[in-house]
Amino acid sequence: MARKTNAVAPAEPDGTDSSDSKSARTRARLLDAAAQVLSQKGFAGTRLSDIAQVAKIQAPAIYYYYPSREDLIEDVVATGAASMREHLTSVLGALPDGTPPADRLAAAVEAQLRHELQLSDYARAVVRNANQLPDHLSARAREQIAEYHEIWRGLIEDLHAAGQLRPDVDPSIGRMLIMGSLNWTVEWWDPERGEIDRTIAVAQSMILYSLRP
């Protein structure tokens, strides 16, 4: 069943929003609420009633925007995966030209941890749920995740090309171990157990120490 979409109309002459504009805002609020619930309760525990409560709308109204719970979750993880790629690309793009490979890798570690732990319910929802979703719900997200992994592959390759990768570390295996450890952080990190800056610093230290000669 095709997902219903609404074009965003311009504001009315008297300055009030059109119905389509209000609909777009409601849809965005619904998607934000779904990301929050999915990041906290996971795929199996996410209910439309919980999403409706967070979004402050009636649960049946969700079906105006999404045909099913699965369609809404699919949109959340696809949006989240794209946001992860865009955030990492933005962080790395802001670094000065000539930034050493190790410093770029450290920046990538901070970008992922800060994004998934502090900045984005969408990123947290992706990290916690992408591997648990049926294939038809994760196809769009997997394309974005593959591009995200390509960025990390390039970071490790640059470290290798600069002679800063240990000879006993396989680049592909090293990358997957790094990604696994960073992703797992969402399962245990709690702001009450320590500042996020400290967690980031420890992760950067351990990762760079394990990779470099």
pTM of the full structure? 0.84
Question: What pLDDT was estimated at residue 18?
Answer: 60
Residue 133 has pLDDT above 50, yes or no: yes
Quick one: average pLDDT of 133-155?
92
Q: What is the pLDDT of residues 167-201, one digit of tens each?
A: 999 999 999 999 999 999 999 998 887 789 999 99
Q: What angle do CA 138, 204, 123 make, to 5 degrees?
A: 25
Q: What is the pLDDT of residues 23-70, one digit of tens each?
A: 888 899 999 999 999 999 999 899 999 999 999 999 999 999 999 999
Quick one: average pLDDT of 111-124?
95
Question: What pLDDT was estimated at residue 13?
Answer: 42
| String of DSSP letters for 160-211 | HHTT-S-TT--HHHHHHHHHHHHHHHHHH--GGGS-HHHHHHHHHHHHHHHH
